């Protein structure tokens, strides 16, 4: 299986908007409609992508690249990341995170900031540790 990031366009926008998290996750993850509106308002820095496993869209991610931010820690953000509820628990989040890290590295970024709520931080850090183990880091 190959996991890729693909730009949101007219051909995949509706599918992206149909992706949902579980009801228990709703308070932690913005819906994709809201995320795409945020991307429109912040066009100069938002980079929204659909996450694909082979040819199946399985999630959404959005980065913020603000190279003009005064504080270097505020320049590059993993702003949003979600995996559709029907596809969770299959390792897609870890594989998507590897692609996200590669995207940042390919764009010359060595440090990124996460946008997360404290309550899900421990779960996310666990996933990150698995990703780094897979990457041999």
Kindly list the domain boundaries of the chain, sorted by start residue: 3-135
Dihedral over Cα of 96, 101, 105, 111: its sign: positive
Distance from C-alpha of 90 to C-alpha of 40, rounded to nearest angstrom: 31
Cβ-count burial of 61 within 10 angstroms (0-12 exposed, 13-18 middle, 19+ buried)?
A: buried
Q: Which two tokens stand for residue 17?
A: 């908007």
Tens-digit pLDDT string for the chain (137 aa): 899 999 999 999 999 999 999 998 888 888 999 999 999 999 999 999 999 999 999 999 999 998 888 887 778 888 899 999 999 989 898 899 889 988 988 988 888 887 665 545 555 555 556 555 665 65
Q: Look up the pTM and report it.
A: 0.82
CATH hierarchy code of domain 3-135: 3.40.630.30
How many Cβ atoms from other residues are within 10 Å of residue 45's Cβ? 17
Instruction: List C-alpha distances in Å: 83 to 15, 16, 42.
Output: 13, 11, 23
């Amino acid at each position: 299986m190959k996991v890729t990031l693909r730009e949101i366009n007219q051909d995949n926008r509706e599918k992206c908007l149909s992706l949902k998290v579980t009801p228990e996750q709703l308070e932690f993850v913005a819906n994709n409609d809201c995320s795409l509106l945020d991307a429109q308002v912040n066009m100069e820095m938002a980079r929204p992508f659909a996450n694909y496993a082979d040819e199946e869209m399985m999630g959404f991610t959005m980065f913020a690249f603000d190279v003009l931010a005064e504080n270097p820690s505020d320049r590059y953000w993993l702003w949003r990341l979600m995996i559709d509820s029907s596809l969770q628990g299959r390792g897609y989040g870890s594989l998507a995170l590897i692609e996200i890290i590669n995207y940042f590295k390919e764009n010359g970024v060595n440090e990124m900031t996460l946008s997360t709520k404290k309550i899900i931080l421990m779960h996310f850090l666990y996933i990150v540790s698995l990703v780094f183990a897979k990457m041999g880091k």
